Structure 1
């Protein structure tokens, strides 16, 4: 048995999605795994038990594993807990998970207070108005409580059939590429909750104790929901809605009752509900939802997160009596101020519609840049491209107007499997990426893993500081049996698109030359085998001070530089970017970091190669003018930041 302590960096802690993803990761190992927080242990293979621990961001926890693959389990789970985006979708707009902050006073142009104005909690920004579509399903009541002992077997079968009938279509929805990545992640987490042993096991035990399946499911769901509601953390309290939503679906089926069908809303409407689960909201045709108002719920609920993902104005926790909803024909929603106007008069409607027009104009003005090649006002062209980690992020990047990919993180392909991906598997992924963006370039970063990012199939030594250890190109050059299949796959993919390759963690010139020699060797092997391949441009990531100080020599060996501002800032400032106590030092705009970037750009200009920026700072609208002034011609960022960046460039 081994154990390891770590500080949890997951954004907002182990709420539904991070807990479900962690349990899924833990289930991939044969050993038993426990997570211990504040002295309380929980089975790490149960998403519900993980959630009930109430693990918050910043908590210190202990991971304990016992079994054949205990070392790999602890290494991967520790890495998971140290990733701020674990279980979330970091390709989405920063802040999508975060609720809008309620303003101290009504913002300019917001819905004004009036006797028919009701205050709730801002859930998703924006203003809307429209007819009301009320979702108020009848209360579910189990009339039978106890069954005969002879009925237990049939009742267990009935429950399992209903559970399967819920899980299967829900699971299909998680695979639907038409559903947003954020929504798929939420639905997958709900599927995991519905199948979790803590939830299902309690129901099965209740049925075996001669309880009616519907009555037991109602009782277990309410007890579990109440347990979450009693927790101090807002994110954890909001998970009670997930439990109630799953329970409502199962109990309705067990009672033979049909819930109101939300998939056929006839006209664009403001959807109003007393209680709405993420699963129910996923059934709604999004193009028919003008706004969302919930009597219950909170800004941290999954419904609120989904509303923000789709840009639907939402207000939650609105104290509207259910009886009043039957006399409500129109609602105006102010998602910024957390206000709802019930049956607005003509003056109020005019005010709301003028505000909506202003918002639409602002969105339309930004959308104008989607297919635009951004140029500064003096004619300098800048490529704005996307940072991606998986193929399912491609539609998001293309819809945002990405002019290619500036960083494709191949390590995620390795970390998602229990064995190393084969050359053919890698080639297929890289080909799909290249084909999706052709003729635009896609820059694929070779494997960037180390002690901080372990993968199955590679044994990493325990290091005091993995960020300064055996990672990136250092590991790859030492393990050609891992590196060569990736290089061969990249050479094969280059036949179908504009593939460029960049090497991470370069510290000296000899590393670049050794990589080039391997590429030449791989290309010769492929041609001798009769396998189609093509050359690609080779560049490096500039993220170590050593690379900056040798930039002139390195520029003579490569076709481009891509500045990784995240690691460069960390290394230049000698600052752990995950350490909150010294966060004030972790600033790309610090003069020392900006000087390093400028030195890199000047070396590239002297050698006649181009420079890109692919760290978080690439989408910083305040830093863009300085980067471009230094000579940066490519900016790679989260897809959600692309339109604003293009607009900013055209204003320079």
Structure 2
């Protein structure tokens, strides 16, 4: 069966490396041959490299072509993906413009570059200038094509295995980037170009380096700066496959001393994945762009970085100490004491602030009048456990389980889910973990669940609505949660509740699952069943819902957009989409009053929970818990202790 479908791309920034990688993994889950067409040019939808080279941007109209028995399902899934309006796929924001308050660096040995990650750094230079790969001399004839192709494929597998090991040790930001590199290494476009060079008589090493160079050059001439930045990824992958062919590995940065500034021509996500990033004080590269994966990782970890530095390789190699300003793009090699003084003062202030915040890690915060407020973490999976615990999270206020489903090629089994929930509960014991049941819809495609095309997925078949219609998806999750409940303090909340009948239907499913587990002789426990308050219907029915829910958790992101009728992803209505609007605050006040009357706890787990300007207002309204990203926890704890009557 051949089908085609036109669709407008809503993925922020378009199909760049990470969303291209996700799109390709979805496409490879179908048997149908699939192509994507933009402005008359087509590309294989199962090739990350070809898809990225197509240069699909946000708001582009594309045509999806599918030919095969599962063409209908493929187009539904892939069109839903490219219609996604979630900001999660966008690359990390570029650094802000120069700040006139930033310390001035004026000295001999001063160079300039492009600001890539904000912050000041001063530290010992760590030089990273690996030698060029020594490829065998080209010979005419005598190359065994089959043997060289087998060598190449084995080297690719070695490379993929190394990257996979790095991905498992990465945080959520780096993990997605490393996965994109894995997809590039195993991409059929690479394989086809290598095969052509091998057929032309090249050995595997030379073929790999030639193909990597040729494909990188295609990215470098792209009009899109983000695509141009992907040339570094291509070169990095080709280099590491070539090294694997020779039984070598890239020199490691793992032994970098703490507080070092790395000086390099260019650095990729590959190299950064080998390092304890806390050891890096700063990054200075001669090449690259603010959209390179190294720059993205630097920004996500708060590492100051300057790229495109105009210093020569010789000057960088000779430097022993480096100062840099990631806001202005200034780099000073071997700064004098006079030049280093303002940097040291700036760093001292930063360290003092961080040290002061660290003192709150084990604090259970209370306001000055003695009111305790829990500060918990929002997490998306096991990779977020470490940062949350390090920040002193008092449990988990929101575990977004949809990532377990979205990142898998098939629906996760009951056993798979139980194992993840169990490990998270054990990690945060004795604190509670609030698990949100599957919250997906047409805007978040999941393999194994077919979503209808909807004009507005945010108002459609999502959250509890989908789960109640698909007990084959929902019941394994409830069973897994009941089984994991023996391992800690578990709370479960249901998203998108708009009617008390939905809550009662979920309660019945929980009872049925518990009875099934008991009949099967499987150990299981109990959990408190609460709801997300994120629809206006739930907000204004809070009095009735509070009589049956064990707790409330307010999702301010959706609640705000629904109350204000303002899409939270649309910058044109951003002035309306704010949690401090009187209409939103009145709704929150009503919810808190209903919870207080019923004697149940109420939390906020939306982005507004981390807004320090609203913390006192929320506490005054009756909030018992604030749940936020780990990075915001220490500041929130400190702020709570400073709140008076």
The two structures have a TM-score, normalised by structure 1, of: 0.91
CA contact (8 A) 1:438 1:498 kept: yes
Residue number in structure 2 paired with 1:292: 283
Number of the residue aligned with 2:54: 53
Classify the secondary structure of the residue corresponding to 2:11. Answer: coil
- On the 8 A contact 2:492/2:527 being kept in 1, the answer is yes
Alignment partner of 2:585 out of 572, 594, 601: 594
Within the candidate set 594, 597, 600, 1:606 is matched to: 597
Q: 1:18·1:86 contact (CA, 8 Å) conserved in 2? A: no
Aligned partner of 1:364 in structure 2 is 355
State whether residues 125 and 260 of structure 2, in contact with CA within 8 Å, keep that contact through their aligned partners in structure 1.
Answer: yes
Counterpart of 2:106 (choices 103, 110, 113) is 113
Q: Distance in 2 between matches of 1:490 and 1:267?
A: 41
Please say if 1:34 is aligned against 2:35.
yes
2:96 pairs with one of 98, 101, 109: 101
Provide the C-alpha distance between the structure 2 equivalents of 1:287 and 1:553, rounded to a whole number of angstroms: 49
User: Deviation digits for residues 66-124 of structure 1, max 9, x if unmatched?
Assistant: 32223332333233334456875x9xxxxx8223224064x34x242234321112222
Give the equivalent residue in structure 1 for 2:342.
Answer: 351
Change (3 A) 1:267 1:216: same
Post-superposition offset of 1:150: 4.7
Report the equivalent of 2:366: 375
CA distance in 2, matches of 1:244, 1:112: 34
- Aligned equivalent of 2:384: 393
- Look up the SS of the partner of 2:479 in the other structure: helix
CA distance in 2, matches of 1:525, 1:139: 63
| Shift, 1:46, TM fit | 0.7
Deviation at 1:533, TM superposition (A): 2.8
Using the TM superposition, name which of 55-64 and 348-357 deviates more: 55-64
The count of corresponding residues between Structure 1 and Structure 2 is 642
Please tell me whether residue 131 in structure 1 is matched to residue 106 in structure 2: no
Give the equivalent residue in structure 2 for 1:93: none
Write out aligned runs for 1:274-313 (5 A): 274-284=265-275, 286=277, 288-313=279-304
Contact 1:102 1:338 in 2 (8 A): no
Out of 166, 175, 195, which is 1:173 matched to?
Answer: 166
Match of 2:518 in 1: 527
For the structure 1 residues 52 and 68, does the alpha-carbon distance in structure 2 shift closer, same or farther, using more than 3 Å as the test? same
Unaligned runs of 5+ in 2: none
Deviation at 1:260, TM superposition (A): 4.8
Question: 1:476 — aligned with what?
Answer: 467
Shift, 1:612, TM fit: 1.0
DSSP 3-state at the match of 2:107:
coil
Deviation at 1:125, TM superposition (A): 2.8
Give the C-alpha shift of residue 250 in structure 1: 3.5
Cα separation, 1, equivalents of 2:73 and 2:109: 59
Does the 8 Å CA contact 1:539/1:558 hold for their aligned counterparts?
yes
RMSD: 2.7
Q: Deviations over 1:259-315 (max 9, x none)?
A: 655344467532211222222333345455332211111221111223334433221
Q: 1:513 to 1:51 in 2, by over 3 A?
A: same
Aligned 8 A contact 1:442 1:499 in 2 = yes
- Distance in 2 (CA, whole Å) between partners of 1:269 and 1:250 is 28
Aligned to 1:402: 393
Cα deviation for residue 126 of structure 1 reads: 2.7
Deviation at 1:409, TM superposition (A): 2.3
Greater displacement, 519-528 / 230-239:
519-528
Alignment of 1:156 onto 2:157: no
Structure 1 pair 252–446 and aligned structure 2 pair: CA distance change class (3 A):
closer
Q: In the alignment, which of 456, 466, 477 is matched to residue 486 of structure 1?
A: 477
CA 490–264 in structure 1, closer or farther in 2 if over 3 Å, else same: closer
Deviation at residue 619 of structure 1 after TM alignment: 1.8
Q: Which residue of 1 aligns with 2:26?
A: 25
- The equivalent of 2:553 in structure 1 is 562
1:324-373 residue CA offsets vs partner (Å, 9 max, x unmatched): 23432221122232211122112122332222211111222222222221
